Amino acid sequence: MAQTAAQEDVVEISYREAVREAIRDALKRDQRVFLMGEDVGRYGGCYAVSKGLLAEFGPDRIRDTPLSESGFTGAGVGAAMAGMRPIVELMTVNFSLLALDQILNSAATIRHMSGNQFGVPLVIRMATGAGRQLAAQHSHSLEGWYAHIPGIKVLAPATLEDARGMLWTALEDPDPVLIFENVMLYNMTGRLAANAESVDIARAAVRRPGQDISLITYGGSLWKTLEAASTLATENIDAEVIDLRSLRPLDDATIIASVNKTRRAVIVDEGWRSGSLAAEIGMRIVEQAFWELDAPVGRVCSEEVPIPYPRHLEQAAIPDVAKIAAAAKAALGRA
């Protein structure tokens, strides 16, 4: 009987379903919460995340919008200022550029410019990353751009627990929070506690402890990095894997503690190398732990090209297990 009860406490779920359950839970908890975006209602969302929510909660809570990212993101900013708790879904990160003025010049600045009289408790969700042959205009990884902006938080849930638990914590934040969901994770399945709750959004997580090198990553690259760590283990290389989870603010303490232990680091970032989030993390390591390093900090990023459409070229352009393992071995002088 005890085993049966334990089995009932865990459900098999996809990343997509975990995000949906997070939205459903938020809608039930707080009448101020509503979801808005293109095709989130009758169509069920571009990635089927909101499928079924319109029938359950109605058109006042699940709002289909016109194809105007600037318009409905601005409406979300206004609704948040007026006391609501909107969740704005931007179909993919490239479309967020059409709303960049609302995010950068309004949402991120209003608390500062109003002398703390107004906040914008807004959550913006968007798909990011490459791997589905969506070609150059729909395969961006621009979360590093947004991590550059003061006044907002930037999250990258890579696990089922974070996909399920980050949203409610973000909705409780008094300031804007952007959540980047990697497109390659939506179909990922696994086991999740049926009563999974909100999670801390301010701390990185050590997903695999190790002694020889720190592999620092986030989002869709986490699983490639863990696979690379398993490959390295067959060559007696004990890699520690850090999942950043929050890209702004960065959890310097966890990063530096890991580097102080392993004395080597490689950062895996699906963004382009020039001006990348990986560059920022590498510089922080140099500033705070330079004398602990036994090798230069390495980076594995996407190639400096628009992401190609042909599958073999797309895969060649983004980080993969072989590139991550090679960078780790190079840092250890075993290339």
- Catalytic positions, written as ranges: 69, 138
- With a CB cutoff of 8 Å and minimum separation 6, the contacts of 135 are 307, 308, 309
- With a CB cutoff of 8 Å and minimum separation 6, the contacts of 86 are 33, 34, 35, 36, 75, 76, 79, 80, 122, 123
3-state secondary structure of 78: helix
Contact 53, 35 (CB under 8 A): yes
Give the C-alpha separation, 207 to 227, whole Å: 12
- With a CB cutoff of 8 Å and minimum separation 6, the contacts of 300 are 266, 267, 268, 269, 278, 319, 323, 324, 327
List strand residue ranges (DSSP E) for 150-238, in order: 153-155, 177-182, 189-193, 205-208, 213-217
Name the phi and psi angles at 191, rounded to 5.
-100, 135
Query: Residue 261 has which token pair?
Result: 């232990």
Give the C-alpha separation, 60 to 137, whole Å: 32
Contact 225, 268 (CB under 8 A): yes
Give the C-alpha separation, 42 to 63, whole Å: 9
269 forms beta bridges with 301
Give the C-alpha separation, 277 to 319, whole Å: 14
85 forms beta bridges with 33
Query: Residue 170 has which token pair?
Result: 């973000």
